[in-house]
Amino acid sequence: MSNSPTKESIPKLSPPTMTAIENPPSPRTHRALRRLQSAHSLGGSSQPSLITQQHKQALQRTHSPANSSSAHHSRGRSNSDATNMTPINLGAAGKRPISNKRPIAADALSLDRLIRDGPPDDDLVGALESTRLKILGQALLFVASANAYWSSLRIYVWLILLNAPVLETESYLALIHRGASPAYSKIRNDTFRTLATDPLFRRRVSEASLIRLLNAVAWKLYDAKEERAGNLAKAGQVTHTANPQGSPELQSSVPVMRSRARALTLTTEGSDAGGSEPGTYVQGMNVLAAPFLYAARSEAEAFVAFHRFITTECPGYVRGAMDGVHKGLALVDKVLAIVDPKLSLYLIGKGMSAEIYAFPSALTLCACTPPLPQVLRLWDFLFAYGAHLNILCIVAQLVILRNSILSSPSPTKILRSFPPLQAETIIEVTLTIVKKIPDDVFSEIVSHAK
């Protein structure tokens, strides 16, 4: 993300045990609560980031002799039996200590109040930092609360983290009233497949709503393309290489890839992923738009968030031949070789590059893998700390499956479809491996979707 934290400021977790990886617990268990608390007790590298130093100081103060008999521990132990732990109140582990620097007032506010009232003392930078930490530690706010499947707060958090502009509803309606865009037929060929087996999505979002959103975005992108063409004063560039059989990005000699793409609603039959109007609609945008519509309170909110996301955070995913997606898949292979050389060599030896099994996950930020509530939780993390971290989230899923993959003579059967998302476990593994990535590779990850 353009305004996402640097690598050094991303929190770090201790390596998870293989038991936890092979059998990820439910977010409602005490073990999940312990992980949420531990996320704010993170150790640093040889040169800890400011966030890490602040948390260490907070823990040392919390576990001082006056407050705890375990003051000799350098890292505070989370209390999984605490009965007063709530999703809204992070406790001492989520607050900064009184130090030489002025404490950030946003830490004293719950996330919903911080979003509602805005940054205290007009401290926007401090409020964003505090918001990110609250999101990292408040999975229960969005996943395991009474309103487990929808949160009225989420869309506003996303709009803030994406730095989305204010959009009047009339502006969105004006795009709708223009009628069918040049990409309308392609949109109609894809929308009915979107999360077709997810009852939560179907209950809240209609196909008509998804068609209107994608058609409005297509008009917006079309206008931008026309403006660029006018500025160049010449005919535009060729930005896609589709054929009658569909987008080549999902055409593979491996049958399993084609079957997985079809199952995940990313088929291109009758959808030219760009065709004669490159840069207005590519297949897969329907799946990317789905979580925005589900989380939003109105189509206009979903429109401005989705348009902002695809034009500033991952424009390389939805233009041309989806070069950003292909760069991301190459980085999946590169990162896996760094994090788990044995697993990487095994997959490559079986002819399984990321292009074969990870294209839908890279293109849709894992939105192609159910269940939807876990997708939303994972997106909370990605929008807070950088959508580019989706590359590491894909690698994390491979690491979680490593024992099953290594023991299988045919990993294609396992990777035909990734198992249901366990967002907390994926985030935990991602935060564990992020510090292992060399700076130059991490820079490639940050910029690959631009």
Omega before residue 25 within 30° of 0, cis:
no
pLDDT tens-digit series, residues 332-358: 999 999 999 999 999 999 999 999 999
Highest mean pLDDT among 84-88, 285-289, 413-417: 285-289
Per the model's pLDDT, the better-predicted residue between 234 and 129 turns out to be 129
Res 129: pLDDT: 86
Q: What is the C-alpha separation between 385 and 136, in angstroms, rounded?
A: 9
Q: Is 91 exposed, middle or buried (0-12, 13-18, 19+ CB in 10 A)?
A: middle
Q: Which two tokens stand for residue 345?
A: 């060599």
Q: Which two tokens stand for residue 18?
A: 């293989």
Beta bridge pairs of residue 246: 243
How far is residue 227 from each of residues 144, 172, 213, 333, measured CA to CA in Å?
46, 19, 21, 37
pLDDT tens-digit series, residues 184-217: 999 999 999 999 989 999 999 999 999 999 999 9
Res 117: pLDDT: 79
Beta bridge pairs of residue 326: none
> How large is the average pLDDT for residues 430-450?
94
Asked whether the beta carbons of 11 and 51 are under 8 A apart, the reply is yes
Q: Which helix (H) or strand (E) holds 344?
A: helix 341-349
The model's confidence at residue 104, banded by pLDDT at 50, 70 and 90, is low
Res 358: pLDDT: 95
Res 280: pLDDT: 82
Reduced to 3 states (helix: H, G, I; strand: E, B; else coil), residue 401 is coil
Q: What is the C-alpha separation between 218 and 214, in angstroms, rounded?
A: 6
**Closest of 319, 354, 325, 309 to residue 449, by C-alpha:** 325
Res 293: pLDDT: 96
Question: Identity (one letter) of the amino acid at 188?
Answer: R
Q: Which two tokens stand for residue 401?
A: 């499956």
| φ and ψ of 45, to 5 deg | -85, -165
DSSP letter assigned to residue 317: G
Asked whether the beta carbons of 446 and 41 are under 8 A apart, the reply is no
Chain centroid to Cα 165, Å, comes to: 20
**Closest of 47, 30, 38, 31 to residue 75, by C-alpha:** 38
> How large is the average pLDDT for residues 100-112?
64
Residue 145 in this model has a pLDDT that exceeds 70: no
pLDDT tens-digit series, residues 222-258: 998 888 777 775 555 444 444 434 444 434 434 444 4
Q: Which helix (H) or strand (E) holds 21?
A: helix 18-22
Q: Which two tokens stand for residue 162?
A: 């994406």
> How large is the average pLDDT for residues 417-431?
93
The answer for residues whose C-beta is within 8 angstroms of residue 272's C-beta and 6 or more apart is 186, 240, 242, 246, 247
Per the model's pLDDT, the better-predicted residue between 95 and 61 turns out to be 61
Which residue bears the tokens 């989706």? 390
Residue 140 in this model has a pLDDT that exceeds 90: no
**Closest of 379, 374, 335 to residue 354, by C-alpha:** 335
How far is residue 428 from each of residues 32, 156, 166, 178, 341, measured CA to CA in Å?
11, 25, 34, 46, 20
What percentage of the chain reaches a pLDDT higher than 70?
Answer: 64
Burial code of 327-344, b = ≥16 C-beta within 10 A, e = fewer?
bbbbbbbbbbbebbeebb
The rounded mean pLDDT for the chain is: 74
Which residue bears the tokens 């392609």? 186
The model's confidence at residue 109, banded by pLDDT at 50, 70 and 90, is confident
Q: What is the C-alpha separation between 391 and 394, in angstroms, rounded?
A: 5
Q: Which two tokens stand for residue 298?
A: 């109105």
Please compute, for residue 450, the number of CA atoms within 13 A of its CA located in the half-sphere on the CB side.
8
Res 15: pLDDT: 45
The answer for residues whose C-beta is within 8 angstroms of residue 116's C-beta and 6 or more apart is none
